[in-house]
Amino acid sequence: MTSEASEKLEQFFSSFTGNGRPLLLLDYDGTLAGFRVDRFTARPWAGVRELLQDIQRQGRTRMAVITGRPASEIPIMLRLAAPVEVWGLHGAERLYEDGRRELEEPSESAREKLDRVREQLRRNAFGGLFEDKANAAVMHWRGHSHRQALSIERKTRALFEPLAQMDGLSLLDFEAGIELRVGRDKGGAVEAIIEEAGRDKPLAYLGDDLTDEAAFRAVNQAEAAHMSVLVRHEWRETAAAVWLRPPDELRMFLKKWREAVGRTRA
């Protein structure tokens, strides 16, 4: 981490004054856990679960995970002692701490178009991994050779692109995949949380993927103290203010968070 980055972090954490709970918003895959082709084996990096649990136990942070996965998968992967708020499907779905679940309802015509795409990909997924989500059809090509990946991507784009922009359907690019979807994106989820929590709360968002850029931009526009963090082994062009390498610098960030919140205890 550069000294400029650590200065930005110090400044951010010094804004925790104990007036209201700061917002800790986290992506899951690639951010709290390393990637696995079988996503059900992607456990958090060593020490991360314990740090999140400490922060939960302090009771002075509003924590939420914002993920591309169905929301219900996150509590199982994280295994925290207390329930956690999760925004799933890139923000289209919300799982409350009390177990309530909300899903944005797409229009009838958007649903019909998505259903047709699903059917087609279930029959023939172009050699990629088709994932059927409540609000989206997703194609993954992680783990394929470069040539195979290009072929899967080309065929999928040919299918998805004519449908995107119709009836609220949109394309979402992520690393090693593409999604045809309806509903809020991660930026929309961040905005909804800010709206609900109040605009004066310090907030941070940590993410690794292209889909996290919308969340970084939403955080960067916040009026309160804010910090957008790219968590990634290699740097890339990003809207995030700070780049941290997992898992060491991620653990460092969470420790600093715990300390900063602890300092404000009356």
| By the rule CB under 5 A, 208 interacts with Mg ion | yes
CB closer to Mg ion out of 106 and 177:
177
CA distance linking residue 137 with residue 87, whole number of Å: 18
CA distance linking residue 264 with residue 202, whole number of Å: 13
CB of 27 to Mg ion, least distance (A): 4
Length of the chain: 266
| By the rule CB under 5 A, 185 interacts with Mg ion | no
CB of 229 to Mg ion, least distance (A): 12
- 23-26 β-sheet, strand order: 101-103, 93-95, 85-88, 62-66, 23-26, 203-207, 226-231, 242-244
CA distance linking residue 220 with residue 237, whole number of Å: 15
Select from 209, 216, 257, 260 the one that contacts Mg ion (CB under 5 A).
209
CA distance linking residue 212 with residue 27, whole number of Å: 8
| By the rule CB under 5 A, 29 interacts with Mg ion | yes
Select from 12, 22, 24, 30 the one that contacts Mg ion (CB under 5 A).
30
CB atoms under 10 Å from CB of 158, counted, come to 10
CB of 198 to Mg ion, least distance (A): 27
CB closer to Mg ion out of 27 and 213:
27
| By the rule CB under 5 A, 153 interacts with Mg ion | no
| By the rule CB under 5 A, 27 interacts with Mg ion | yes
Residues that bind Mg ion (CB under 5 A): 27, 29-30, 208-209
